[in-house]
Structures are given as C-alpha cells and as structure tokens.
Amino acid sequence: MTKKALITGITGQDGFHLAELLLSKNYEVVGMVNRQREELGNSLRKDLPEVIQVRGDLADSTSLNGVIAETMPDEIYNLGAISFVGLSFKQPELTSNITGLGVLRMLEAIRSADPERKIRFYQASSSEMFGKVRETPQNENTPFHPRSPYGVSKVFAHHACVNYREAYGMHVSCGILFNHEGERRGHEFVTRKITSTIAQIVLGISDKLVLGNIEAKRDWGYAGDYVEAMWLMLQQEIPDDYVIATGETYSVKDFIETAFNLVNIQDGIERYVKQDPQFMRPSEVDLLVGDSSKAKRILNWTPKVGFKELVKRMLINDLQLQAKIHQIDLQDVKQIINLIDQ
C-alpha cells in the first residue's frame, strides 16, 4: 500500500532531499508551505511536480489541525524551522515561536487527530543543542548547553517530543543532526557562502570573502545522506533519538583552505578572507563532533560522502551556477571543474 508522508519545511535543503528520497520509494508526498515561502513553493513545483503542496504554518495551530486532519499521513517529518542560528539572535521571539512552540503545536495536532497513535513523527533536533559541549564526541546522552535562541528553542522542542512519546505513547523520533550541507544549502550558511564566493573569485566576479569567526569547528556531512537516516528512524517499531554525524570535525578555516586548494589558489585566506564583526555571534559554539554509533548499530546508517568530496560537490555546483548567472562560457569553466574533479 502507498504510504503518505507530510513534510514541513519542504522548501528547504532537507525538504528537497527527503521528498526526492520518499518519491523514489513510491510515497505520496505532501509538503507544507507557508505564505512567506510561496515563491519557493513555485520553484519546487518545477523541480518536484509530484509533491502535493498544502498551505500551513507552524505559528498557527488551526492551520496545522487542518493540514493533519485533511492529509492523515502515515509519517510526518518536521523540518520546518527558523534554522539560521545568526538570525535567531536578532529575532529570538520569532525563533522560539516557530522552532520551539511550532513543534508543540504539531504534537498537539497529531495527538488529537490520531487517537490510535498510527502517525509516526520525526523531529529535526540539532547538534546546536550541545552548544558549549560537555563532552567530546557528543552522543545521545550528552547534556545540552545551547548557545543561541535557536539552540534553546531546539532543546525545548526536543524535550517536548520526548515528553509526548512518554506521556501519550506517540511514535516520535528525534534525529540530532550535525551540520549537513550540499548543493541546495542556503547562501546564509557559511559553507555555501564560502563555495559561492570562491566560485566568484575564480571567475573574476568577486575579490573578497567576508566572514566572522573562522576558528569554529563543525562536523560537516552531506544532506543527501542525512535524510536517509530520518526515513530509517521512522521505519523502526520503537521510536527513539539518534545522533547523525560523520565523526570528523573541521574548522571553517579548514573548509576555506580545502576549497581554495581545489581550485589551485595558494594563500587564499591571506589574499581574500576579511573578517567583519557583523558575522560574529554574541555566543559561539566552538566545537562539534558527533558519535553516531547508535545510528550505525540500530539503523545500519553510515555517511557516504566525506569532507573533501562535500566541498568538491558544492564548489563545482557553484561554479556552474555562477557561470550561468554571469553568462560565462561553460567551456572555460569546464577546465576548472576538471581540475577540481581530478
């Protein structure tokens, strides 16, 4: 029988990869889009026309009740959030409302629409919850110490999920996902900012890369690998929480150096990187590295794309994109891409 999945945050990076995966598994995929994201919804319609789009907003329980009652999906993946940590310092209330309370609204809507507890719910928890880390590497039992309004909201949402699982017997699983990137990453995130600016530098369109703290270390994986873990979590009879990570950590500086090296630019950091305090955060997460051995043991999940391959994919994608935007002959760009791909 065809399964039906509802995805919130369908217009984001993970929403796209997950929808693609579920469609390949013959799911009927319903994506929830809010009014502010209508334009992105239209472009998703071109890329993935099979996805049925419904209007709903995590800030509005009435709309959530309606979406769930109308669709009655087998699985719900809650990827919707204000997901940019930097912005959460500027809009803490909005972030708490969507990223934190929005999850409670979803849980309540499911609880009343599905008394038989048939719906399985996935919550996008985050490694930002570990914040000022208490141990390294971080696993499912590491205490939380969030360092941003975003992290605080994710901790609230995570605890609400655990509570609804325990109190009402709901099938709720949380994926504590470490940073995951790729060709569809938003330009506000550091990896995409780096690869798109370096692509511009290579093509002579830009001459500087302006960043904040480049010493911060992250465990960076590929988004396409991580959505598979989300799906695997909801295929388990017993709901649970899982850390999803590569187990390797690199600084922002390492990311920049790797990207410059791939296009054969020596001393790229000295020549092009400028620091601007506007990109610094009032409190920073200095080091993240995850231990995903539980996911490996129970879900049989391991990441496939390594760090260098991730940087390569993002850089090639941005070179092609920038060439198209600036009407640069693709033949010239192909030579650079061949160099990267060696």
CB closer to ligand G4F, 155 vs 211: 211
Residue 311 interacts with ligand G4F (CB under 6 A): yes or no: no
Residue type, 12: G
Q: C-beta of 238: minimal distance to ligand G4F in Å?
A: 25
Structure tokens at 295: 């996911």
Residue type, 82: I
Tell me which residue of 58, 46, 82, 43 sits closest to 7, measured CA to CA.
Answer: 58
Residue 86 interacts with ligand G4F (CB under 6 A): yes or no: yes
Q: Identify the three-state secondary structure at position 138.
A: strand
Helix (H) or strand (E) holding 211: strand 209-211
Residue 195 interacts with ligand G4F (CB under 6 A): yes or no: no
CB closer to ligand G4F, 73 vs 100: 100
The DSSP line for 39-79 is: HHHHHHHHH-TTSEEEE--TT-HHHHHHHHHHH--SEEEE-
Beta bridge partners of 30: 6, 52
Give the integer Cα–Cα distance in Å for 261 and 255: 10
Q: Which stretch binds ligand G4F (CB under 6 A): 16-24, 213-221, 231-239, 264-272?
A: 213-221
List the interface residues with ligand G4F, window 124-153 (CB under 6 A).
126-128
Q: Which stretch binds ligand G4F (CB under 6 A): 47-55, 222-230, 280-288, 297-305?
A: 280-288
For residues 11 and 83, the answer to whether their CB atoms sit within 8 Å is: no
For residues 127 and 245, the answer to whether their CB atoms sit within 8 Å is: yes
Residue 254 interacts with ligand G4F (CB under 6 A): yes or no: no
Q: C-beta of 341: minimal distance to ligand G4F in Å?
A: 25
CB closer to ligand G4F, 123 vs 179: 179
Q: Which stretch binds ligand G4F (CB under 6 A): 3-11, 39-47, 211-219, 316-324?
A: 211-219
Give the integer Cα–Cα distance in Å for 175 and 146: 17
List the interface residues with ligand G4F, window 215-234 (CB under 6 A).
216, 218
For residues 117 and 171, the answer to whether their CB atoms sit within 8 Å is: yes
CB closer to ligand G4F, 199 vs 336: 199
Residue type, 67: V
In the list 65, 97, 163, 213, the residue contacting ligand G4F (rule: CB under 6 A) is 213
Residue 53 interacts with ligand G4F (CB under 6 A): yes or no: no
List the interface residues with ligand G4F, window 288-307 (CB under 6 A).
288
Give the integer Cα–Cα distance in Å for 261 and 310: 14
Active site positions, annotated: 126, 128, 150
Residue 211 interacts with ligand G4F (CB under 6 A): yes or no: yes
Q: C-beta of 218: minimal distance to ligand G4F in Å?
A: 5
In the list 71, 78, 179, 195, the residue contacting ligand G4F (rule: CB under 6 A) is 179
Find the DSSP H helices in 169-237.
Answer: 190-202, 223-234
Total residues contacting ligand G4F (rule CB under 6 A)?
24
Q: Identify the three-state secondary structure at position 147.
A: coil
Q: C-beta of 114: minimal distance to ligand G4F in Å?
A: 28
Q: C-beta of 271: minimal distance to ligand G4F in Å?
A: 17
Tell me which residue of 302, 180, 171, 227 sits closest to 29, measured CA to CA.
Answer: 227
Structure tokens at 319: 């070179």
Which residues in this chain contact ligand G4F in the complex, by CB under 6 A? 83, 85-86, 126-128, 178-179, 188-191, 193, 211-214, 216, 218, 252, 279, 281, 284, 288
